[in-house]
Amino acid sequence: MKKTILITLILLFISVGLFAEEWISFNGKGETLPNYEIFQSNSSSVEFEVDIPGMDSKNVDNYNRVYIPEHTKMDSVGFPEVPMVTYLTAIPGCEFVR
């Protein structure tokens, strides 16, 4: 019984080490999700800011795979898996967008 528990604990520690993730911070703050803030929205313009505080990195086959928690990634065949942050925003009906 003790050997089974010991082996289980060893396997647990090994798996935690193999699947460890590292948070890469862009702004020096803790691990948080991306967010957006709308500064102005009217019939002719929308002004907003997206804040991406960082991303997770995981070592996979001698390279780092990066991703942003609760967001998707570009996953087209033959292209790198680049993390994406997407929010739907209505663009007002006007002649041009800046």
Q: Quickly state the pLDDT bin for 28 (edges 50, 70, 90).
A: confident
78-89 tens-digit pLDDT: 888 888 888 887
73 three-class SS: strand
The residue written with tokens 């929205």 in the block is 41
Percent of the chain with pLDDT over 90: 0
E strand or H helix at 24: strand 22-25
User: What pTM did the predictor assign?
Assistant: 0.59
Q: Per-residue pLDDT tens for 59-78?
A: 888 888 888 878 888 878 88
In the numeric block, which tokens belong to residue 15? 């798996």
| Domain assignments of the chain as residue spans, ordered by start | 21-91
